[in-house]
């Protein structure tokens, strides 16, 4: 992540401007589509990154692209704000943080769950129920596959990591042995 503080501030600002779940879904989709367009269109990306193209021309290009895409005014204002402040490169990180900040606003805790293989539905349900019991509030789980874990899984909530993987156990054993 380029600048976690800036990403969080922009994400919180965007989430604060959203009214409800349908608007959150629409804005998220529109921003993701725009990000995909940027990453897949080299000429557009170079134009927006170039210091030799006037800021108002860049803004007009973005307005045209977003209008062609049928984006809402709120999405357009947000992207133009990022451009105006030279922060368009943060859009990918903002998109990644957006569900977490949205869920925090709704009173939900977000956990990143990494495992070697995809968890079965019954395992996901048990894990979610247990985390909700421990947190005392609803939780949102984001799953990912991490082959380096060897076995087990790892949970992350913000900066707190709980490693229940075989790799984590081996690291603890190694630390114990090295400490003597």
Angle between helices 55-69 and 21-40 (to 10 degrees): 120
Domain boundaries, the chain: 4-103, 108-179
Is there a contact between 153 and 113 (Cβ–Cβ < 8 Å)?
A: yes
pLDDT for residue 169: 59
pLDDT tens column, 52-65:
888 888 888 888 88
pLDDT for residue 165: 66
Give the lowest-confidence range in 7-11, 28-32, 53-57, 151-155: 151-155
- According to CATH, the topology of domain 4-103 is Peroxidase; domain 1 (1.10.520)
* Nearest alpha-carbon partner for 74 in 117, 130, 35, 30: 30
What is the reported pTM? 0.72
* Nearest alpha-carbon partner for 90 in 38, 27, 19: 38
On the question of pLDDT at 1 being above 60, the answer is no
pLDDT tens column, 112-151:
888 888 888 998 999 899 989 988 888 888 888 888 777 7
Please, which pLDDT band fits residue 171 given cuts at 50, 70 and 90? Answer: low
Neighbours of 170 (CB within 10 A): 11
155 exposed, middle or buried (CB, 10 Å; 0-12, 13-18, 19+)?
middle
């Amino acid at each position: 992540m380029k600048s976690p503080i800036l990403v969080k501030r922009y994400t919180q600002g965007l989430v604060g401007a959203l009214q409800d779940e349908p608007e959150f879904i629409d804005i998220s989709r529109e921003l993701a589509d725009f990000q995909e367009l940027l990453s897949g269109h080299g000429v557009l990306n170079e134009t927006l990154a170039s210091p030799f193209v006037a800021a108002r021309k860049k803004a007009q290009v973005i307005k045209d692209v977003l209008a062609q895409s049928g984006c809402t005014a709120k999405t357009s204002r947000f992207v133009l704000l990022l451009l105006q402040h030279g922060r368009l490169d943060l859009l990918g990180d903002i998109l990644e943080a957006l569900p977490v900040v949205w869920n925090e606003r709704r009173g939900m805790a977000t956990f990143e769950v990494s495992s070697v293989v995809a968890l079965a539905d019954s395992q996901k349900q048990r894990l979610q129920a247990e985390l909700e019991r421990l947190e005392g509030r609803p939780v949102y789980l984001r799953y990912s596959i991490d082959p380096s874990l060897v076995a087990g899984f790892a949970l992350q909530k913000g900066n707190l990591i709980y490693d229940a993987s075989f790799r984590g156990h081996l690291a603890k054993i190694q630390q114990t042995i090295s400490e003597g």
